[in-house]
Amino acid sequence: MNTSPKLSLTILASAFTLSAGALVAAPDLMNIPLVDIQGRQGALAAWEGKVILIVNTASECGYTRQYEGLEALYQKYAPRDFVVLGFPSNDFGGQEPGSEEEIQKFCTSRFKVTFPLFSKVSLRVKAHPLFTALTSPESPIPGPITWNFNKFLIGKDGVLKARFASDTEPDSLTLRNAIEKELEAGKKKR
């Protein structure tokens, strides 16, 4: 096939445009700005190289008891470069009505939570950019968040690896196996 230099450049320019558009549509999860529950600015990059479990939480939900299991996961796997990150949201059933201070007090006093918590986020209308990226059509596992305590597993490479519904308990074999798999995958790449 004989292709003219001008046509080749046009094809190359089109491919670059598509590639650049994809980068804008699916931002790097690790660099999306976040605000923790104390109001400090940051990003997931603070946990770069770790396996991250992101959970949208609520203090007055039937799944709220999962805080205990999430803390147990955090304690078990933290020495192996794992972290749980809790993102309170009032979007489902108005089940997180409290202030950041009330949420933190509830989580630490009732469930002894020590994993990082963040300021309340919206997951539906004007969704937080992190959750937009996790659920968008460009996401490796797209689809809307359906209720409180959805779980998103990010590998050490900063890529979404698995999603779990609200009814997946923190001590479920499925979730623990996925965490173990990502912890092991991270070891092999070193």
Can you tell me the mean pLDDT for 158-169? 96
| Distance between CA atoms of residues 157 and 159, nearest Å | 6
How much of the chain exceeds pLDDT 70, in percent?
A: 84
Which of 26, 61, 159, 185 is flagged as catalytic?
Answer: 61
Which CA distances in Å does 172 have to 56, 123, 175, 177? 18, 25, 5, 9
Give the architecture (CATH level 2) of 29-188.
Answer: 3-Layer(aba) Sandwich (3.40)
Model-wide pTM > 0.95: no
Residue 107 known to be catalytic: no
Q: Which residue has the higher pLDDT, 26 or 49?
A: 49
Q: Could you tell me the pLDDT band of residue 28, with boundaries at 50, 70 and 90?
A: confident
Q: Which amino acid is at 65?
A: R
